[in-house]
Amino acid sequence: MAHPAGPRHADILAAPHLAERPNSPAELSQIPANVYPRGAARNSDEVLEVGGVAVDELAQTYGTPLFVYDEADFRSRCSDMQEAFGPHGRVHYASKAFLSSEVARWVDSEGLSLDVCTGGELAIALRAGFPAERIAMHGNNKSEDELDYALESGIGHVVLDSMYEIERLDRLAGARGVVADVLIRVTPGVEAHTHEFISTAHEDQKFGFALAGGKAMDAVRAVFATDNLRLVGLHSHIGSQIFEIDGFELAAHRVLGLLADVVAEFGLEKTKQIEVLDLGGGLGISYIPSEEPPLVADLARSLVDIVRRESERLGLPMPAIAVEPGRAIAGPAGVTVYRVGTIKDVDLDGAATRRYVSVDGGMSDNIRTVLYDAEYDVRLANRLSDAPAVVCRVVGKHCESGDIVVRDCWLPSDLTPGDLLVVGATGAYCYSMSSRYNMAPRAAVAAVRDGQARLILRRETVEDFLSLEVDPT
Ligand SMILES: Cc1ncc(COP(=O)(O)O)c(C=O)c1O
Ligand SMILES: N[C@@H](CCCC[NH3+])C(=O)O
């Protein structure tokens, strides 16, 4: 069925984030370098290639929806981060953004450390042979089993998040006859300018010990009073998808302020065991071409300067600076390939029309649009089109009207069922937050590099679902 660009399509919707109408089909088919993996481009057949592999081949081999990770891109973001922080830096990849054994091996071979926040993430990391001593465990409600698994595995440190946990980990470490290295997660009261659900350092939330009111200092006293915990660092994480460096700077100043209080109460010698300041993750990425996050190098320079200056002032050796990027490493390295299934023009009030393009995934592989009002860039990937652009909404196949992948976008008016759409920057928090809603099997994940593709997570199957069923006895 033909879907011409009827005049009513044009500019119908004053969608707040809809970019200007592309000037030409050529502009509409561009692959914005700041959103897609490094080196993603159209090949001589006009098909989008990632890591040297054409997405139509990938869709043919592995099916859709499909996550595709560009290994070289992922690795280069690891090494850029490491290089930016230099000898003072300890870069932990936040595995919640996306984890599989293969990804853990990339992180390991790039020399980064790894953050996990559940026993499940730890199990994948260990399965991959990730060195336990370079793993840190987070979480506001780690179970006793998870804490004990961390101790049994000999991970580097645990980031403590509550008074209960101080007591629990001390007891569990004592029972194993070990002393566990710990960091205290501090809530520095910095309002990160990001979505409320992903902002984590204002006081009214579940993570960490607030600096305000002395809770963080109470936690320091409590850890110092244990027999089986060794306080080796302070931690703060102010939120995610942050574009302004000043939030990180303010948090660093406040955490260093706590360090000064520790010196005042416990003296210089005792405080010297606090050898790492972990300033968390949170650096933003470009989901759409108009977004430009700060440079990692600028963030690193600024944080290193603050920490150096303040620690000198306190008479302490320069602590290591840990950071925990997840999105900034995995996000731009991944894209999602969908196949268009149906296209429908829906008349709206005011005589406007909205074109709904339904793809074969949706909120089960990308909940971020619905959850955070996240924006994405989407391109027709299997061919070039010289048709004019129309405003579209890319939606999934789930039984939910909010099942939206890209709320407002421009796509060629000759889009047709069977076409492939690629959504950029889906490498972080899409697969890892995926669900089986409507018993949709989780998508497959492929890695591409130097023109070669391989599966790193197979597609879920109905047999996987059935294997969980318990028959009546
Ligand atoms: C403690 C902690 N560290 C690191 C991260 C990773 O954040 P991002 O992916 O925004 O870098 C998160 C998630 O926000 C987190 O909660
Ligand atoms: N899951 C979130 C961010 C929270 C990260 C973990 N604290 C996202 O998709 O943006």
pLDDT category of residue 16 using cuts at 50, 70 and 90: low
Query: With b meaning 16 or more CB within 10 Å and e meaning fewer, what string describes 142-175?
Result: beeebbbbbbebebbbbbbbbeebbebbbebbee
Question: What mean pLDDT do residues 77-91 have?
Answer: 95
Nearest ligand 1 atom to the CA of 198 is 14
Q: Does the beta carbon of 280 lie inside 6 Å of ligand 1? A: yes
Q: At 400, which CATH number?
A: 2.40.37.10
Give the chain's mean pLDDT.
93
CB 333 within 8 A of CB 430: no
Question: Could you tell me if 44 and 191 lie in one domain?
Answer: no
Ligand nearest to the CA of 278: 1
Q: How far is CA 472 from the centre of its chain?
A: 40
Binding residues for substrate: 327, 368, 372, 400, 429
Tokens of 351: 């005589």
**For a substitution probing ligand 1, which of 99, 240, 244, 255 has the most ligand atoms within 8 Å of its CB?**
240
Question: Could you tell me if 322 and 341 lie in one domain?
Answer: no
pLDDT category of residue 473 using cuts at 50, 70 and 90: confident
**Any domain includes 471:** no
Residue 322: which of 132, 185, 463 has the closest Cα?
185
What are the residue numbers of the active site? 399
Half-sphere exposure of 332 (CA within 13 A, CB side): 31
State the distance from the centre of ligand 2 to the C-alpha of 332, rounded, in angstroms: 15
Question: Could you tell me if 280 and 192 lie in one domain?
Answer: yes
Question: Could you tell me if 80 and 51 lie in one domain?
Answer: no
Task: Give the domain-ending residue among 301, 330, 359.
Answer: 330
Segment holding 390, helix H or strand E: strand 389-395
With 0-12 / 13-18 / 19 or more C-beta atoms within 10 angstroms meaning exposed / middle / buried, residue 244 is: middle
Domain of residue 298: give its range: 71-330
pLDDT one-digit tens code per residue, 359-388: 999 999 999 999 999 999 999 999 999 999
**Any domain includes 2:** no
**Any domain includes 473:** no
Q: Does the beta carbon of 277 lie inside 6 Å of ligand 1? A: no
State the distance from the centre of ligand 1 to the C-alpha of 446, rounded, in angstroms: 24
Q: Is the pLDDT of residue 6 over 50?
A: no
Q: Does the beta carbon of 142 lie inside 6 Å of ligand 2? A: no
Query: How many domains are there within the chain?
Result: 2
pLDDT one-digit tens code per residue, 387-434: 999 999 999 999 999 999 999 999 999 999 999 999 999 999 999 999
Task: Give the domain-ending residue among 330, 363, 395.
Answer: 330
Give me the DSSP letters along 95-160. Answer: GGG---HHHHHHHHHTT-EEEE-SHHHHHHHHHTT--GGGEEE--SS--HHHHHHHHHHT-SEEEE
pLDDT category of residue 7 using cuts at 50, 70 and 90: very low
Task: Give the domain-ending residue among 330, 355, 386.
Answer: 330
Query: What percent of the chain lies above the pLDDT cut of 90?
Result: 88
pLDDT category of residue 10 using cuts at 50, 70 and 90: very low
Q: Does the beta carbon of 138 lie inside 6 Å of ligand 1? A: yes
**Predicted-complex ipTM score:** 0.98
pLDDT category of residue 166 using cuts at 50, 70 and 90: very high
Binding residues for pyridoxal 5'-phosphate: 282, 324-327, 429
Question: Could you tell me if 302 and 397 lie in one domain?
Answer: no
Question: Could you tell me if 176 and 311 lie in one domain?
Answer: yes
**Any domain includes 295:** yes
**Any domain includes 15:** yes
CA pair distance 367, 430, nearest whole angstrom: 7
Query: What percent of the chain lies above the pLDDT cut of 70?
Result: 94
Predicted local confidence at residue 192, as pLDDT: 73
Q: Is the pLDDT of residue 14 over 90?
A: no
Predicted local confidence at residue 199, as pLDDT: 59
Predicted local confidence at residue 191, as pLDDT: 74
**Any domain includes 472:** no
Q: Is the pLDDT of residue 168 over 80?
A: yes
Question: Could you tell me if 267 and 378 lie in one domain?
Answer: no
Backbone angles phi and psi of 385, in degrees to 5: -130, 145
Question: Helix, strand, or coil here: 446?
Answer: strand
pLDDT one-digit tens code per residue, 280-339: 999 999 999 999 999 999 999 999 999 999 999 999 999 999 999 999 999 999 999 999
pLDDT one-digit tens code per residue, 174-206: 999 999 999 999 999 887 766 555 556 567 789
Segment holding 395, helix H or strand E: strand 389-395
**Any domain includes 428:** yes
pTM of this structure: 0.95
Question: What mean pLDDT do residues 123-138 have?
Answer: 98
Q: At 275, which CATH number?
A: 3.20.20.10
State the distance from the centre of ligand 2 to the C-alpha of 208, rounded, in angstroms: 16
Q: Does the beta carbon of 368 lie inside 6 Å of ligand 1? A: no
Predicted local confidence at residue 196, as pLDDT: 58
